[in-house]
Structure 1
Amino acid sequence: MVAAKKTKKTHESINNRLALVMKSGKYTLGYKTVLKTIRSSKAKLVIIANNCPPIRKSEIEYYAMLAKVGVHHYNGNNVDLGTACGKYFRVCCLSIIDPGDSDIIKSLPSDQ
């Protein structure tokens, strides 16, 4: 029961940090633009929803591994990730180019 409370707390903190990135940082939403930012080595962190198709997920992870970019598997589906970003649509994956005022890159374990 304590573990469930702790995961909810970390989930909320990730959502708060994501909201701060949306306000003050630079980011890209969507599969194609995430791959572009990884290939051009602009991405600092990639966040993937848990219901992203496996082939897309593995391709993003492969490119991120080559570019030495951290990948975080978001603990929610694409609707939850879109809501956390403050959007009214689904977001399968997003890349953070500039975190702005947020400390999301330091706080998330990149090897997850």
Structure 2
Amino acid sequence: MEVKQLVDEIRCSNFSDRPTQPSNTHTSASNDRILPRAFKMAPKKNTKTSDSINAKLALTIKSGKVTLGYKSTLKTLRSGKAKLIIIAGNTPPLRKSELEYYSMLAKCSVHHFSGNNIELGTACGKLFRCSTMAILDAGDSDILNTNPQ
């Protein structure tokens, strides 16, 4: 009889010092099921700003002058013709710092694109990857006037 009372006490007692869930799980908001940490959803990206940047990039590609790629971007920075540099999110840190240094010398602004090089190439309307690009003339786009971030 005493064992049964102890079991009932254990079931009814509140273990405040123990976590209620294992550390590698979380509960979903829609229903209180316990899901493994691997199924946790990624944070939602700010699509409004990325869509507006993509639209401005597409207009700049159509009506303005741009150079795509690391080597040609460095050449335009050295010559002082670049007005804006766009760097993809997954560009290696050494290349990023080199481009930022050259753009500081050329007094050119830099925008860090939120997507990777595949998404930057797609935003430019190309079928290949593009890690960096320089805008020489914006054309009909107002990408130079507004802060892209």
Question: With structure 2 as the length reference, what TM-score do the two structures score?
Answer: 0.69
Q: How many residues align?
A: 107
The aligned amino acid for 1:108 is N
The aligned amino acid for 1:28 is T
Partner of 2:83: 44
> Does 2:57 align with 1:27?
no
Question: With structure 1 as the length reference, what TM-score do the two structures score?
Answer: 0.91
Structure 2 alignment gaps of length 5 or more: 1-42
| 1:61 CA drift (Å) | 0.2
Structure 1 alignment gaps of length 5 or more: none
The aligned amino acid for 2:132 is C
| 1:21 CA drift (Å) | 0.5
Partner of 1:15: 54
Aligned counterparts of 1:104 and 1:39: Cα–Cα separation in 2: 22
Partner of 1:86: 125
The aligned amino acid for 2:53 is I
Over the matched positions of the two proteins, sequence identity in percent amounts to: 64
Q: Whose RCO is larger (CA < 8 A, sep 6+)? A: 1
Instruction: State the structure with more CA Rg.
Output: 2
**CA-to-aligned-CA distance 1:4-31 (integer Å, 9 cap, x gap):** 8882101100000000001000000000
Aligned counterparts of 1:6 and 1:100: Cα–Cα separation in 2: 28
Residue 28 of structure 1 aligns to a residue whose secondary structure is strand
| 1:108 CA drift (Å) | 2.2
The aligned amino acid for 1:38 is L
Structure 1 vs Structure 2 CA RMSD: 1.6
Partner of 2:33: none
| Greater than 2 Å deviation, 4+ residue runs | 4-7
The aligned amino acid for 1:76 is G
Partner of 1:108: 147
Please identify which structure carries the higher helix content.
1
The aligned amino acid for 1:31 is Y
